[in-house]
Structure 1
Protein backbone atom coordinates (compact mmCIF):
# COMPACT_ATOMS: atom_id res chain seq x y z
CA UNK A 1 0.00 0.00 0.00
CA UNK A 2 2.67 2.61 0.81
CA UNK A 3 4.29 2.18 -2.62
CA UNK A 4 0.99 2.66 -4.43
CA UNK A 5 0.12 5.63 -2.22
CA UNK A 6 3.48 7.27 -2.95
CA UNK A 7 3.08 6.66 -6.68
CA UNK A 8 -0.45 8.08 -6.83
CA UNK A 9 0.49 11.01 -4.59
CA UNK A 10 3.33 11.88 -6.95
CA UNK A 11 0.97 11.80 -9.93
CA UNK A 12 -1.94 13.69 -8.33
CA UNK A 13 -0.03 16.27 -6.28
CA UNK A 14 3.27 17.98 -5.78
CA UNK A 15 5.68 16.96 -3.06
CA UNK A 16 6.08 19.78 -0.52
CA UNK A 17 8.55 18.24 1.90
CA UNK A 18 9.57 15.59 4.40
CA UNK A 19 9.64 15.81 8.18
CA UNK A 20 12.34 14.45 10.49
CA UNK A 21 10.36 11.21 10.93
CA UNK A 22 10.34 10.46 7.20
CA UNK A 23 6.68 11.37 6.54
CA UNK A 24 6.18 12.90 3.07
CA UNK A 25 3.76 15.79 2.52
CA UNK A 26 1.87 16.58 -0.69
CA UNK A 27 -0.67 19.08 -1.97
CA UNK A 28 -2.71 19.28 -5.15
CA UNK A 29 -1.37 21.50 -7.90
CA UNK A 30 -4.63 23.46 -8.24
CA UNK A 31 -7.32 24.86 -5.99
CA UNK A 32 -9.98 22.17 -5.68
CA UNK A 33 -13.55 23.04 -6.76
CA UNK A 34 -15.83 23.04 -3.75
CA UNK A 35 -12.92 23.35 -1.31
CA UNK A 36 -11.64 26.84 -2.09
CA UNK A 37 -8.06 25.74 -1.44
CA UNK A 38 -5.59 23.04 -2.34
CA UNK A 39 -5.92 19.63 -0.72
CA UNK A 40 -3.03 18.54 1.47
CA UNK A 41 -2.11 15.08 2.73
CA UNK A 42 0.67 13.01 4.26
CA UNK A 43 2.13 9.63 3.35
CA UNK A 44 3.34 8.16 6.64
CA UNK A 45 6.78 6.59 6.92
CA UNK A 46 5.53 4.07 9.47
CA UNK A 47 2.17 3.46 11.09
CA UNK A 48 -0.62 5.62 9.67
CA UNK A 49 -1.42 7.41 12.93
CA UNK A 50 -2.38 11.09 13.01
CA UNK A 51 -0.26 11.72 16.10
CA UNK A 52 2.83 10.85 14.04
CA UNK A 53 2.58 14.29 12.38
CA UNK A 54 4.78 16.82 14.20
CA UNK A 55 3.33 20.25 15.08
CA UNK A 56 5.40 22.01 12.40
CA UNK A 57 3.48 20.13 9.71
CA UNK A 58 0.11 19.86 11.47
CA UNK A 59 -0.59 23.56 10.98
CA UNK A 60 0.32 23.34 7.30
CA UNK A 61 -1.88 20.27 6.72
CA UNK A 62 -4.89 22.09 8.15
CA UNK A 63 -4.26 25.34 6.23
CA UNK A 64 -3.39 27.28 9.39
CA UNK A 65 -0.08 28.30 7.78
CA UNK A 66 0.99 28.64 4.15
CA UNK A 67 4.40 27.08 4.79
CA UNK A 68 5.46 24.56 7.41
CA UNK A 69 7.21 25.95 10.48
CA UNK A 70 10.99 25.60 10.42
CA UNK A 71 11.83 22.39 12.30
CA UNK A 72 15.12 23.89 13.51
CA UNK A 73 13.47 26.96 15.05
CA UNK A 74 12.08 25.96 18.41
CA UNK A 75 11.03 28.04 21.36
CA UNK A 76 12.51 27.11 24.76
CA UNK A 77 9.06 26.04 26.03
CA UNK A 78 8.41 23.63 23.13
CA UNK A 79 8.88 19.94 23.89
CA UNK A 80 9.99 17.33 21.39
CA UNK A 81 7.06 15.74 19.58
CA UNK A 82 5.96 12.34 20.89
CA UNK A 83 3.33 10.12 19.25
CA UNK A 84 0.18 9.23 21.19
CA UNK A 85 1.02 6.67 23.90
CA UNK A 86 -2.56 5.67 24.76
CA UNK A 87 -2.83 1.91 25.27
CA UNK A 88 0.90 1.44 25.84
CA UNK A 89 3.05 1.16 28.95
CA UNK A 90 4.09 4.81 28.40
CA UNK A 91 0.51 6.12 28.71
CA UNK A 92 -0.30 8.63 31.44
CA UNK A 93 -1.94 7.01 34.45
CA UNK A 94 -2.93 9.16 37.43
CA UNK A 95 -2.40 7.89 40.96
CA UNK A 96 -5.96 6.51 41.28
CA UNK A 97 -5.75 4.42 38.10
CA UNK A 98 -6.23 0.64 38.46
CA UNK A 99 -2.72 0.01 37.10
CA UNK A 100 -1.32 2.39 39.71
CA UNK A 101 -2.91 0.65 42.69
CA UNK A 102 -6.50 1.82 42.22
CA UNK A 103 -6.49 3.93 45.38
CA UNK A 104 -6.89 7.65 45.23
CA UNK A 105 -6.57 10.24 47.93
CA UNK A 106 -9.81 11.22 49.62
CA UNK A 107 -10.97 14.78 49.15
CA UNK A 108 -13.14 17.10 51.23
CA UNK A 109 -16.08 16.76 48.81
CA UNK A 110 -15.62 13.06 48.24
CA UNK A 111 -18.39 11.05 46.70
CA UNK A 112 -20.09 7.87 47.70
CA UNK A 113 -20.41 5.26 44.95
CA UNK A 114 -23.93 4.42 43.81
CA UNK A 115 -25.06 0.84 44.29
CA UNK A 116 -28.03 -0.48 42.28
CA UNK A 117 -31.06 -1.30 44.43
CA UNK A 118 -30.04 0.76 47.44
Structure 2
Protein backbone atom coordinates (compact mmCIF):
# COMPACT_ATOMS: atom_id res chain seq x y z
CA UNK A 1 0.00 0.00 0.00
CA UNK A 2 1.31 3.42 -0.89
CA UNK A 3 2.23 6.11 1.58
CA UNK A 4 -0.43 8.40 0.11
CA UNK A 5 -3.15 5.77 0.62
CA UNK A 6 -2.10 5.27 4.24
CA UNK A 7 -2.14 9.01 4.86
CA UNK A 8 -5.54 9.47 3.19
CA UNK A 9 -7.00 6.58 5.17
CA UNK A 10 -5.63 7.87 8.46
CA UNK A 11 -6.84 11.44 7.93
CA UNK A 12 -10.22 11.05 6.25
CA UNK A 13 -11.35 7.50 6.99
CA UNK A 14 -12.39 5.32 9.86
CA UNK A 15 -11.85 1.58 10.11
CA UNK A 16 -15.05 -0.47 9.94
CA UNK A 17 -13.63 -3.98 10.22
CA UNK A 18 -11.38 -6.77 9.00
CA UNK A 19 -12.30 -9.95 7.14
CA UNK A 20 -10.89 -13.44 7.63
CA UNK A 21 -8.31 -12.84 4.87
CA UNK A 22 -6.78 -9.84 6.65
CA UNK A 23 -8.26 -7.14 4.37
CA UNK A 24 -9.33 -3.99 6.26
CA UNK A 25 -12.41 -1.97 5.32
CA UNK A 26 -12.77 1.77 5.75
CA UNK A 27 -15.42 4.44 5.36
CA UNK A 28 -15.00 8.21 4.95
CA UNK A 29 -15.85 10.36 7.96
CA UNK A 30 -18.01 12.76 5.93
CA UNK A 31 -20.30 12.41 2.93
CA UNK A 32 -18.39 12.81 -0.30
CA UNK A 33 -19.27 15.93 -2.32
CA UNK A 34 -21.24 14.97 -5.40
CA UNK A 35 -21.49 11.40 -4.16
CA UNK A 36 -24.24 11.92 -1.59
CA UNK A 37 -23.00 9.25 0.80
CA UNK A 38 -19.88 8.06 2.55
CA UNK A 39 -17.13 6.59 0.41
CA UNK A 40 -16.07 3.01 1.24
CA UNK A 41 -12.83 1.23 0.36
CA UNK A 42 -10.69 -1.78 1.17
CA UNK A 43 -6.99 -2.05 1.95
CA UNK A 44 -5.87 -5.49 0.80
CA UNK A 45 -3.64 -7.81 2.76
CA UNK A 46 -1.03 -8.64 0.15
CA UNK A 47 -1.49 -8.01 -3.55
CA UNK A 48 -4.47 -5.84 -4.49
CA UNK A 49 -6.92 -8.26 -6.10
CA UNK A 50 -10.65 -7.52 -6.14
CA UNK A 51 -11.61 -11.20 -5.96
CA UNK A 52 -10.08 -11.38 -2.48
CA UNK A 53 -13.14 -9.53 -1.10
CA UNK A 54 -15.65 -12.04 0.34
CA UNK A 55 -19.35 -11.61 -0.57
CA UNK A 56 -20.30 -10.32 2.89
CA UNK A 57 -17.98 -7.35 2.52
CA UNK A 58 -18.66 -6.89 -1.20
CA UNK A 59 -22.28 -6.04 -0.38
CA UNK A 60 -21.16 -3.43 2.13
CA UNK A 61 -18.54 -1.91 -0.21
CA UNK A 62 -21.13 -1.39 -2.94
CA UNK A 63 -23.73 0.12 -0.57
CA UNK A 64 -26.06 -2.88 -0.97
CA UNK A 65 -26.01 -3.40 2.80
CA UNK A 66 -25.73 -0.72 5.49
CA UNK A 67 -23.55 -2.94 7.67
CA UNK A 68 -21.23 -5.83 6.81
CA UNK A 69 -23.13 -9.10 6.63
CA UNK A 70 -22.29 -11.77 9.22
CA UNK A 71 -19.48 -14.08 8.15
CA UNK A 72 -20.98 -17.24 9.67
CA UNK A 73 -21.89 -20.00 7.24
CA UNK A 74 -25.64 -20.07 6.79
CA UNK A 75 -25.97 -23.51 5.18
CA UNK A 76 -23.85 -26.67 5.24
CA UNK A 77 -23.77 -26.82 1.41
CA UNK A 78 -22.03 -23.44 1.14
CA UNK A 79 -18.33 -23.50 0.30
CA UNK A 80 -15.59 -21.20 1.54
CA UNK A 81 -14.87 -18.15 -0.63
CA UNK A 82 -11.79 -18.47 -2.82
CA UNK A 83 -10.11 -15.68 -4.78
CA UNK A 84 -10.06 -16.05 -8.58
CA UNK A 85 -7.18 -18.42 -9.49
CA UNK A 86 -6.80 -17.15 -13.08
CA UNK A 87 -3.15 -16.62 -13.91
CA UNK A 88 -1.92 -18.76 -11.02
CA UNK A 89 -0.78 -22.37 -10.76
CA UNK A 90 -4.28 -23.25 -9.49
CA UNK A 91 -5.98 -22.10 -12.70
CA UNK A 92 -8.04 -24.66 -14.60
CA UNK A 93 -6.71 -25.80 -17.98
CA UNK A 94 -8.91 -28.04 -20.15
CA UNK A 95 -7.63 -31.15 -21.83
CA UNK A 96 -5.69 -30.11 -24.91
CA UNK A 97 -4.35 -26.92 -23.38
CA UNK A 98 -0.58 -26.49 -23.69
CA UNK A 99 -0.21 -26.41 -19.89
CA UNK A 100 -2.07 -29.73 -19.62
CA UNK A 101 0.12 -31.62 -22.04
CA UNK A 102 -1.24 -30.17 -25.28
CA UNK A 103 -3.00 -33.32 -26.42
CA UNK A 104 -6.70 -33.60 -27.10
CA UNK A 105 -8.94 -36.33 -28.40
CA UNK A 106 -8.82 -36.99 -32.11
CA UNK A 107 -11.94 -35.80 -33.92
CA UNK A 108 -14.36 -38.48 -34.98
CA UNK A 109 -14.41 -37.60 -38.67
CA UNK A 110 -17.82 -35.92 -38.65
CA UNK A 111 -16.21 -32.48 -38.79
CA UNK A 112 -15.53 -30.83 -42.11
CA UNK A 113 -13.51 -27.62 -42.09
CA UNK A 114 -15.00 -24.65 -43.91
CA UNK A 115 -13.06 -23.29 -46.82
CA UNK A 116 -13.87 -19.98 -48.49
CA UNK A 117 -15.65 -20.21 -51.83
CA UNK A 118 -17.15 -23.64 -51.33
TM superposition score category, shorter chain reference: 0.7 to 0.9
Deviating 4+ runs (over 4 angstroms): 104-111
The structure that is strand-richer by fraction is 2
Q: Aligned residue for 1:62?
A: 62
Structure 1 gaps, min length 5 = none
- Whose radius of gyration is greater, 1 or 2? 2
- Indicate conservation of the 8 Å contact 1:2/1:43, yes or no: no
Task: State the distance in 1 between where 2:7 and 2:82 align.
Answer: 28
Of residues 88-97 and 39-48 in structure 1, the stretch that sits farther from structure 2 once superposed is 88-97
- Indicate conservation of the 8 Å contact 1:6/1:43, yes or no: no
Of residues 37-46 and 1-10 in structure 1, the stretch that sits farther from structure 2 once superposed is 1-10
2:67 partner SS: coil
Shift of residue 8, structure 1, vs aligned partner: 2.8
Task: State the distance in 2 between where 1:106 and 1:29 align.
Answer: 62
Shift of residue 97, structure 1, vs aligned partner: 2.4
Say if 1:54 and 1:13 are closer, same or farther in 2 by CA, change over 3 A.
same
Residue correspondences, number: 116
Shift of residue 18, structure 1, vs aligned partner: 0.6
Please provide the CA RMSD for this pair: 2.8
Q: Aligned residue for 1:17?
A: 17
